[in-house]
Amino acid sequence: MTSTTTQRRSAAFVAMQRMFDEGFATGETAVVDEVCSPDLVEHQFGTAGIGAEAVEHVKAAIRDVHRALPDASFTIEDTAEVEDMIWVRVRVQGTAAGPFFGPPSGRHVDITVIDIARVVDGRIAEHWGVPDRFALLAQTGILDRLS
């Protein structure tokens, strides 16, 4: 399943897709206020928080990811939903053209992110994100500098 299909999608799927397409892929943070609950509970390492703090952390993550991978594309490849919960497997592809733990490497990046969200009334109320950080570190050359 990809984000380019024309099938009718659930409100949860649309919320997740908007975060990737309108947020992370562009670096624009306004979508966070539209798609995330102001009472957001964020569990992802590095962005964890509750309420306004969580919302600001998500906005910072969008800016950071876009700065590091300005041409990144996000494709939802798999999804599952049960009641108010959605799970998505997302493929992220781009070029490490911005700073990321040092100067840009210019290397191609192709990683997987697993996101789980509780969506209430079309807004993300709770989120767990698991990006493949090890693959990101390896593909950007960070691990090469450590050896």
In a domain, 28, yes or no: yes
Domain of residue 130, CATH code: 3.10.450.50
- Mean pLDDT computed over 34-58: 97
Look up the pTM and report it.
Answer: 0.91
In a domain, 3, yes or no: no
Neighbours of 7 (CB within 10 A): 6
In a domain, 38, yes or no: yes
Supply the range of the domain harboring residue 140: 11-146
Element (H, E) at 30: helix 30-35
Which residue matches tokens 């897709």? 17
In a domain, 113, yes or no: yes
Band of the pLDDT at 76, cuts 50, 70, 90?
very high
In this structure, what token pair is assigned to residue 30? 């306004």
Share of the chain above pLDDT 70, in %: 95
Domains identified in the chain, total number: 1
In a domain, 93, yes or no: yes
In a domain, 2, yes or no: no
Higher pLDDT, 99 or 112: 112
pLDDT tens-digit map of 119-140: 999 999 999 999 999 999 999 9
89: CB partners within 8 A, 6+ apart: 76, 77, 78, 79, 112, 113, 114
pLDDT score, position 99: 86
